């Protein structure tokens, strides 16, 4: 029904006329992003909280500013809004927690199929704790450098530096072995 409408049109319908069907279409459009961030928050009501924040955002949106924005800009803006809400929720839920411990990054998942799994695991475990945690978070769980930086409360550049050192050590160890 709303497939032919632009995101701008859906936002206008939802905002000015409180059209529930248009709002539902917007929620479904951003459901993958909402699910991704809800999984990172690690609590049962996270997805609902993010959906509610999206609804509140749409109702508070100044529709006059939509006219000059492209569809891509609108999508990017909404994704950033959801991401920022995820960060706010994370900070609220972890108030008083100074840092996520490196030990909280889980071991490599067993579902990953390597021909030399035990050799690779052995090589990964030779890395220093922080390097191992960054490599696992980045390449096995798919966290972005920014998300890893937030987890360990370091800069994105520090994450890149740790990652480069780890990859260099892995290459060296695998070529020697």
- Chain segment 133-156, per-residue pLDDT in tens: 888 888 777 888 888 888 888 898
**Section 74-95 average pLDDT:** 85
Return d(Cα 88, Cα 15) in angstroms, integer: 24
Structural domains of the chain in order of their starting residue, each with its CATH number? 7-93 (1.10.1740), 102-176 (1.10.10.10)
pLDDT tens column, 155-165 = 989 999 999 99
Report the share of the chain in percent with pLDDT over 70. Answer: 82
**Section 1-15 average pLDDT:** 76
Mean pLDDT of the chain: 80
Query: In sequence order, what are the residues at sequence separation of 6 or more whose Cβ sits closer than 8 angstroms to the Cβ of residue 2?
Result: 10, 21, 22, 25
In the predicted structure, residue 32 carries a pLDDT above the cut 90:
yes
**Section 69-90 average pLDDT:** 87
pLDDT value of position 137: 83
Two tokens, residue 130: 């922080």
Contact 105, 136 (CB under 8 A): yes
pLDDT value of position 172: 83
CA dihedral for 110, 118, 148, 29, sign (positive or negative): negative
For residues 158 and 104, the model is more confident at 158
Q: How sure is the predictor about 35, in pLDDT bands with cuts at 50, 70 and 90? A: very high
pLDDT tens column, 40-64 = 888 889 999 999 999 999 888 887 7
In the predicted structure, residue 110 carries a pLDDT above the cut 60:
no
């Amino acid at each position: 029904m709303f497939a032919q409408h632009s995101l701008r049109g859906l936002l206008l319908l939802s905002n000015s006329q409180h059209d529930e069907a248009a709002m539902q279409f917007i929620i479904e459009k951003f459901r993958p992003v909402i699910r991704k961030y809800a999984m990172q928050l690690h609590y049962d009501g996270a997805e609902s909280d993010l959906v509610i924040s999206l609804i509140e955002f749409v109702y508070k949106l100044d529709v006059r500013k939509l006219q000059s924005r492209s569809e891509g800009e609108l999508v990017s803006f909404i994704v950033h809004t959801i991401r920022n809400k995820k960060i706010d929720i994370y900070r609220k839920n972890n108030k008083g927690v100074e840092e996520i411990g490196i030990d909280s990054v889980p071991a490599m998942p067993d579902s990953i199929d390597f021909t030399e799994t035990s050799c690779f695991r052995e090589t990964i475990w030779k890395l220093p704790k922080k390097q191992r945690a960054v490599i696992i978070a980045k390449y096995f769980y798919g966290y972005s450098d920014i998300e890893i930086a937030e987890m360990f409360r370091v800069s994105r550049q520090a994450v890149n530096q740790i990652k480069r050192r780890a990859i260099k050590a892995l290459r060296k160890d695998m070529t020697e072995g």
